Amino acid sequence: MSTLLLSDLHLPAQPSPLREQFKALLDGPARNAQAVYLLGDLFEYWVGDDIGLDVYADEIAALARLARSGVALYAMRGNRDFLLGERFERESGVHLLPDPSVARIEGRSWLLSHGDLWCTDDVGYQRWRWFAHRPVVQTAFTHLPRRWREQIAGGLRRGSQQAKAGKSSAIMDVNPSAVIAALRSAGVTQMIHGHTHRPAQHRLEIDGRPGLRIVLPDWHDDRCEVLVIDRDSIKTLRLTD
């Protein structure tokens, strides 16, 4: 048995090869896993359960089928889908985890996160993140009409893309000191996260002990990859040719 981990699929609201690949994963290789972790930004945007469950009805149904088959499903909220809520959990069979969380995977303890928490050099983004995660802000937003919410989400995406164009790559990556502090606080030496779209395995040292930071790959129409962990190995499963 193995555990699958993936993030940053950014599934669009319209029909897409990404959506087809995700459903094929859930109805195919994921059936042989004991657990699947979705570490944020599964969806390009999620403006509330009342809308998202309708837009992504096929994906929610596929998740529910997988959960009923006995595979444990976990997810974290990302910077694009931080409004995932209780109805999503209930209808999909996915258990939402706090970010970060420590999980025992195939005999080893890992610190899991979407990853944006540790991009501490990007001060502007961290300010926006603090604001957007305030309960009063989220409640107010989800009570807006659907058209307004979708327009705001679209404007935020465009603003984010423009802001990235003016930032250095170092600022948008995780801060090494923040990573070490998070591992030390969690009492583990290994972590897995997404968000940065820079898939890699980084060797670390935490208080004299060897550590590991794995960055999950983001998905593209021609490259959809999943991290697979079993008792003997850590490898990448490529779903596309």
For residue 160, say whether it is annotated as part of any ligand binding site. yes
For residue 223, say whether it is annotated as part of any ligand binding site. no
For residue 32, say whether it is annotated as part of any ligand binding site. no
Measured CA distances, 59 to 22, 53, 95, 129, 210 (Å): 8, 9, 15, 27, 39
For residue 167, say whether it is annotated as part of any ligand binding site. yes
The C-alpha atoms of residue 79 and residue 135 are separated, in whole angstroms, by 15
For residue 149, say whether it is annotated as part of any ligand binding site. no
Measured CA distances, 23 to 60, 91, 97 (Å): 9, 16, 22
Query: Token digits for 3?
Result: 């555990």
For residue 79, say whether it is annotated as part of any ligand binding site. yes
The C-alpha atoms of residue 220 and residue 143 are separated, in whole angstroms, by 33
The C-alpha atoms of residue 27 and residue 106 are separated, in whole angstroms, by 22
For residue 114, say whether it is annotated as part of any ligand binding site. yes
Decide: 5 and 37 in contact? Cβ < 8 Å: yes
The per-residue DSSP string of 105-140 comes to ETTEEEEEE-SGGG-TT-HHHHHHHHHHT-HHHHHH
The C-alpha atoms of residue 81 and residue 43 are separated, in whole angstroms, by 6
For residue 220, say whether it is annotated as part of any ligand binding site. no
For residue 58, say whether it is annotated as part of any ligand binding site. no
Binding residues: 8, 10, 41, 79-80, 114, 122, 160, 164, 167, 195, 197
Binding residues for Mn(2+): 8, 10, 41, 79, 114, 195, 197
Binding residues for substrate: 79-80, 122, 160, 164, 167, 195
